[in-house]
């Protein structure tokens, strides 16, 4: 008999691929058989498959069954949190972008990935978000 582990995933709105959430992160925590999301409205995701940014909510978190024989695939990717400031004029509003990317990647690789994205999203100030190299930081959520 194959055992399954319960995990929680956020489905990418563009490609529908599941992004397995770590047990504790800025998005929320596992609490026994449920996930308690943080009090965050919309979140910005970079779809690694299509290289485009999109908006999602934590309402899109679903409970999944994880098979141990799939661990190699799951361990090869991780949820990354990228923080930045809008570089449009003197805006400097903070933004957080999440993406699923190689677990073994460096912070610099993930920052470069974000900076290369052609698609843009709206800043809370109403203009399109602009990024600059020195103002982007990435960390792997584990």
Nearest one of 13, 18, 46, 16 to 116, comparing CA atoms: 46
pLDDT of residue 80: 96
Q: Are strands 42-47 and 52-57 parallel, antiparallel or unpaired?
A: antiparallel
Which residues in the chain come in under a pLDDT of 50? 71-74
Nearest one of 78, 68, 74, 115 to 98, comparing CA atoms: 78
- Residues of the domain holding 39: 5-141
Number of domains in the chain: 1
Nearest one of 108, 109, 13, 107 to 52, comparing CA atoms: 13
User: DSSP of 92-134, one letter per residue?
Assistant: --EEEEEEEEETT--HHHHHHHHHH-----B-TTSSB----GG
pLDDT of residue 74: 46
pLDDT of residue 126: 87
Question: Environment class of residue 88 by beta-carbon count within 10 Å: exposed (0-12), middle (13-18) or buried (19+)?
Answer: middle
pLDDT of residue 24: 92
What is the pTM for the complete model shown?
Answer: 0.86
Task: For residue 5, give both structure tokens.
Answer: 């582990």
pLDDT of residue 118: 56
């Amino acid at each position: 008999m194959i055992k399954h582990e319960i995990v929680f995933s956020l489905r990418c709105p563009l490609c529908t691929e599941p992004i397995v959430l770590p047990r504790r992160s800025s998005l929320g925590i596992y609490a026994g058989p449920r996930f308690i999301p943080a009090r965050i409205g919309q979140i910005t995701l970079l779809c690694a498959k299509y290289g485009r940014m999109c908006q999602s909510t934590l309402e899109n978190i679903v409970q999944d069954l994880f098979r141990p024989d799939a661990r190699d695939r799951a361990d090869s990717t991780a949820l990354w949190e990228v923080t930045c400031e809008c570089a449009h004029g003197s805006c400097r509003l903070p933004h957080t972008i999440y993406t699923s990317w190689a677990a073994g990647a460096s912070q610099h690789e993930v920052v470069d990935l974000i900076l290369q994205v052609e698609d843009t999203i709206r800043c809370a100030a109403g203009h399109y978000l602009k990024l600059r190299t020195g103002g982007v930081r990435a960390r792997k959520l584990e």
